Structure 1
Amino acid sequence: MNQTGRTPAIVFEHFQFQYFSQAEPTLYDINLKIYEGEKVLIVGPSGSGKSTIGNCLNGLIPFSYKGEIQGSLKIGGKETREMNIFELSKKVGTVLQDADGQFIGLTVGEDIAFALENDCVPLEQMKKTVQAVADVVDMGRLLKASPYELSGGQKQRVSFAGVMVDDVDILLFDEPLANLDPATGKTAIDLIDRVWKESRKTVVIIEHRLEDVLYREVDRIIVVSEGRIVADMTPDELMAADILPGLGIREPLYVTAMKYAGIQVNAQMKAGRLDTLDISQVREPLKKWNQDQIKKERKKERPVILEAEHLSFRYTKHLSILRDISFRIQEGEMVSIVGTNGAGKSTLAKVICGFVTEDEGRLFYYGEDLKGQTIKERSKKIGYVMQNPNQMICKPMLYDEVALGLRIRGIAEEEIEPKVDRALRICGLAPFKKWPVATLSFGQKKRVTIASMLALEPKLLILDEPTAGQDYRHYTEIMEFLKSLNEQGVTILMITHDMHLMLEYTPHAIVISDGRKIGDNSAVNILTNKEIAEKANLKLTSLYELAIKAGMDDPSVFVQRFIDYERGTCRR
């Protein structure tokens, strides 16, 4: 894209990079200019090379990750191979995906001041600069707090301040939304946008949550696939190009809804952001589609597999985590548990599994009181899969890992093999039966942990953030797999921050906020309820906002019909 009269801040020319450990290059013939003062979003599926581009910009390549470089990369008009890591750090400030890995100081103020201390800035000037930058990111009152005591959103702000204090020309954000709940992610995008507009720095965001970033304006979107740039467009042009789904990148839900309604999206509609969408061009087709949808019959009531009555739990006398929680889950349901970080979602799962014991209330499994049952006894009925598979896997070979629980129970080897084979087959892991676990991908390891639970034949499976950090393609693979398990009779309970997952796959949602249940309804009704969304740091779905913009009589009905259409038409 030619931008006459503007000075390039970043220029890739026929740039190629190959890690020494790889047989093929990760980046091929990259030609890209990013201009001073631009805000650019780089998107792509996992393994596409988008993070490698970021590592080239901030100097991690070649100073930390070694490999062969061909072509040219200039930042601020200077060839990066002629710069050292210190020079690059004065040009490019990076906010990492994992904020904890970026902290150095014992307090927020010390952490922000780190770069100034390295530059031997006088103390009084340093204090003024730290206070000014902390105020910009709304952390000025927490300078004496420990970074590790902060929420996920606050940690992001401290990392942001730590790179801004150096007054760099380019701000690079690597997956800034990865560990944030929806509302906190929205606040992070607001903060990036505000700093960009006030400072006019060049901003580069690497993120696969496209719709969440497009909540605010970006100048261009660079789409990377298999190490190559396959698109360089404005958001309006990209939404009209219809190339994202084929690359395994999730397009905004409101754009998908327009396509379901038979609308040919074009750049003139300004569909790059919901705020700029020219609703007059799409209102009538959307209303007609909504009216044409057949009302879906309600499913019959099924037996209650899990029931909680007035559950409360506290770690100490003054640290109450769960307060008077009651709910009922029917056999064969897929249910989301959602809410803010620290709301008590994972603690609730621990109480159900028996890892910790409730202080008050009762828990029933098919009407049987679970009080007094050990973890081992409950594990015959209830399986639990942690977010990080590496925290669960303890055997070097895949077969041994899946067989471990059965062996602990003293089951004979001749009975174990058919059970393991069945679990591997269901999880799509049968070809890897004799493989070492270390050779598997992260997504495959997740399946190994699920297979380990399935081999024990639980009726209820609890998963903590099953799609965390996955791009759309891998997310879909995991969720379709879990859906197939559910169709085979396994009741599934998922702790998640992913509003798309909640809408697309789980008809029933339970909302926890500050240890209390504040919502227990259909996912659609939860994500179209402003009061619940605000209390639990959720984000109203863009489908609801589209329906309001189009003047629908009942926006919630439109959202439900979209979900029913997806389940009936697209996910057979």
Structure 2
Amino acid sequence: MKKPVIEFNNYSFKYHSQVDPTLKDLSLTILEGEKVLIVGPSGSGKSTIGHCINGLVPFSYKGDVIGSLKIKGEEAKDLDIFSLSKIVGTVLQDPDGQFIGLTVGEDIAFSLENDCIEQKSMVALVEEVAEMVEMDRFLSSSVHHLSGGQKQRVSLAGVMVDHVDVLLFDEPLANLDPATGKYAMELIDRIQKETNKTVIIIEHRLEDVLHIDVDRIIVMDDGRIVADMNPDELLASNILEEIHIREPLYVKAAKYAGCEVTEEMKPSKPLSFAVDKEKLIAWYESTDSIIPRGKSEPILELNEIAFQYHAGHETIQGVSFSIEKGEMVSLIGKNGAGKSTISKLICGFEKPSSGTIYFDGQDITKDTIKERSERIGMVLQNPNHMISKHMIFDEVALGLVIRGVPEQEIKERVESVLKICGLYPFRNWPISALSFGQKKRVTIASVLVLDPEIIILDEPTAGQDLRHFTEIMDFLVELNRNGKTIIIITHDMHLMLEYTPRAIVIDSGKKIADESATTVLTDAEIIKQANLKETSLFELAKRAGIREPKEFIGRFIRYDKEVRKNWQ
């Protein structure tokens, strides 16, 4: 019989900085060797559960605890942070915040060095774990030169080398391209099966996690557990819909079509999910088709842009494309393809080695960063690279203050944007008290408040739940309707399908496609080359015998957006 590893019993926790408890009367047991997924809206308490398990509560995040939490039979309050770290290994959402060593080998070895392990044994252990996560060929490489997926594997190796009993993953998919995310889940699954470790995954992207088998899904809302079920039982219910967590797209399409979804239909497995084809086809035929957007004048043009960080290796190779006024476009591709570098070239953070950039017909290739910032706003992928103030209001107001905007106008504009980004209740909070996802919203607000003509957003919705995802994207859509041109760098294929009719695909510094979003995600060659992933809607449409799967995808996207417009 499996033994309990994690036991919450009538457990509540309140941060000192807050009035109400974040966790409320939790009772939860996780057994050895289980693979458990924790989902819930932002602020539901799922990350705090992780912090309690790994000891960040109460050692880093101070607060009041009521009830009992046992880790391997011992009260967590009686264990120090070092002892907990030998039981629970945590892989953070942002791997850069976890690195200690300069090279892959040094970083994996850090814990062993602290334990004064003899060097010969240490080398053998590092090589063994590096091989397990398929990073043995990179032991001498700098951790800062790795792709997002490789960084995550190094972080995993760094905790596995301690032979911990529990592996805790905090949003492991947030910064990974679709194919790398799929591989990451397969790696987690393989390691769990080989080592029988207990695995806890905290993640918004439910459908992507369900690429592998999980034993249970814990659903959090408002600090409480509202469901603790196997995946098929949960997907057959309406619990996720009621608290606005995105269900797998193929399940949502079946429910929209009026198909009954039962546990016996195995809804967690798209290829074996037995849907009522007649109802699906009838629903498809009754929905409206997509109306193409009309053409307009180009506002941004890149002409044969080339760039290299290091002599002899071109990062960007002869990239050309144009963006029309009022367009909303996705820039997609695998980790390290060159997407963020292109955005830096557009903003002037880097200068191209050759080629020309035009804004509204004028050559801006030699314009300064300041000159371009009057027209183009940029929200970086990592919020910590943008934040310079201690308080939320001050950070969002900074650009307006520098521009000499009157104080009353600053207050009105900042408060308006904070409300849109779901940050108004926290306007007087220190930024250090925010989660990664909340910091992301602060940086988006700090750019949106400046009212630029073009806004470039690098992964704007990473780490956001469906409600905040929808709020942010609906706000961007409203800006777009009012004439703003928006470029989104993203790994979220549903965001691309739902909000950007057009996608520009980059691979190894080259443009390999410039097509409609649905065309990109139904082209097997582009999907393979750019590390993308075919949407489950495409497979569902093919299995139902729908002749135009691309049209089915488009109609689902349109219908789903209309449904979410009614959310309060």
For 2:160, the equivalent position in structure 1 comes to 164
For 1:23, the equivalent position in structure 2 comes to 19
Aligned equivalents of 1:368, 1:94: Cα separation in 2: 50
Q: 1:360 to 1:51 in 2, by over 3 A?
A: same
The alignment status of 1:139 with 2:135, answered yes or no, reads: yes
Q: 1:401 to 1:82 in 2, by over 3 A?
A: closer
For 1:337, the equivalent position in structure 2 comes to 331
Aligned equivalents of 1:564, 1:53: Cα separation in 2: 36
* Aligned partner of 1:44 among 40, 43, 67: 40
Per the TM alignment, residue 368 of structure 1 is displaced from its structure 2 partner at its CA by 3.3
* Aligned partner of 1:494 among 488, 511, 515: 488
Aligned equivalents of 2:561, 2:153: Cα separation in 1: 38
Letter in 1 for 2:513: G
Per the TM alignment, residue 562 of structure 1 is displaced from its structure 2 partner at its CA by 1.5
Q: Which runs of 5+ in 2 are unaligned?
A: none
Cα-Cα RMSD:
3.0
For 2:67, the equivalent position in structure 1 comes to 71
What's the CA shift string for 1:463-522, capped at 9, x where partnerless? 222222222221111111111111111121112222221111111111111111111111
Contact 1:427 1:481 in 2 (8 A): no
For 1:246, the equivalent position in structure 2 comes to 242
Contact 2:420 2:475 in 1 (8 A): no
**Paired residues, what number?**
557
Contact 1:512 1:519 in 2 (8 A): yes
For 1:88, the equivalent position in structure 2 comes to 84
Q: 1:81 to 1:445 in 2, by over 3 A?
A: closer
1:388-403 matches, within 5 Å, as 391-392=385-386, 401=398, 403=400
Q: 1:86 to 1:511 in 2, by over 3 A?
A: same
The alignment status of 1:452 with 2:456, answered yes or no, reads: no
Structure with the greater alpha carbon radius of gyration: 1
Q: Percent identity?
A: 54
Contact 1:259 1:265 in 2 (8 A): yes
1:143-154 matches, within 5 Å, as 143-154=139-150
Per the TM alignment, residue 39 of structure 1 is displaced from its structure 2 partner at its CA by 0.5
For 2:175, the equivalent position in structure 1 comes to 179
Contact 1:216 1:273 in 2 (8 A): no
Per the TM alignment, residue 213 of structure 1 is displaced from its structure 2 partner at its CA by 0.8
Contact 1:323 1:516 in 2 (8 A): yes
Aligned equivalents of 2:134, 2:176: Cα separation in 1: 17
Q: 1:115 to 1:300 in 2, by over 3 A?
A: closer
Aligned equivalents of 1:188, 1:85: Cα separation in 2: 27
For 2:203, the equivalent position in structure 1 comes to 207
The alignment status of 1:480 with 2:474, answered yes or no, reads: yes
Letter in 2 for 1:320: E
For 1:266, the equivalent position in structure 2 comes to 262
For 1:102, the equivalent position in structure 2 comes to 98
Contact 2:104 2:138 in 1 (8 A): yes
Per the TM alignment, residue 237 of structure 1 is displaced from its structure 2 partner at its CA by 1.0
Contact 1:235 1:273 in 2 (8 A): no
1:233-312 matches, within 5 Å, as 233-277=229-273, 279=274, 281-312=275-306
1:373-412 matches, within 5 Å, as 373-387=367-381, 391-392=385-386, 401=398, 403-404=400-401, 406-407=403-404
Letter in 1 for 2:139: L
Per the TM alignment, residue 447 of structure 1 is displaced from its structure 2 partner at its CA by 5.0
Contact 2:171 2:463 in 1 (8 A): no
Name the SS for the 1:453 alignment partner.
Answer: coil
Aligned equivalents of 1:387, 1:81: Cα separation in 2: 36
TM-score (norm 1): 0.89
Q: 1:113 to 1:452 in 2, by over 3 A?
A: same
Name the SS for the 2:239 alignment partner.
Answer: coil
Once the two structures are overlaid, the 10-residue window that deviates more, 396-405 or 13-22, is 396-405
Letter in 2 for 1:492: I
Contact 2:386 2:443 in 1 (8 A): no
Aligned equivalents of 1:42, 1:569: Cα separation in 2: 25
Contact 1:237 1:272 in 2 (8 A): no
Contact 1:181 1:340 in 2 (8 A): yes
Per the TM alignment, residue 74 of structure 1 is displaced from its structure 2 partner at its CA by 1.9
Letter in 1 for 2:153: R
Contact 2:169 2:200 in 1 (8 A): yes
Name the SS for the 1:312 alignment partner.
Answer: strand
Per the TM alignment, residue 337 of structure 1 is displaced from its structure 2 partner at its CA by 0.9
Per the TM alignment, residue 127 of structure 1 is displaced from its structure 2 partner at its CA by 2.9
For 1:511, the equivalent position in structure 2 comes to 505
Letter in 1 for 2:10: H
Name the SS for the 2:322 alignment partner.
Answer: strand
Name the SS for the 1:320 alignment partner.
Answer: coil
For 1:221, the equivalent position in structure 2 comes to 217
What's the CA shift string for 1:155-214, capped at 9, x where partnerless? 211221222222222221122122222221111101000011122221111112211111
Name the SS for the 1:40 alignment partner.
Answer: strand
Q: 1:97 to 1:312 in 2, by over 3 A?
A: same
Q: 1:571 to 1:392 in 2, by over 3 A?
A: same
TM-score (norm 2): 0.89
Aligned equivalents of 2:292, 2:262: Cα separation in 1: 37
Aligned equivalents of 1:64, 1:417: Cα separation in 2: 38
Q: 1:349 to 1:72 in 2, by over 3 A?
A: same
Contact 1:10 1:73 in 2 (8 A): yes
Q: 1:503 to 1:428 in 2, by over 3 A?
A: same
The alignment status of 1:13 with 2:4, answered yes or no, reads: no
Contact 1:8 1:36 in 2 (8 A): yes
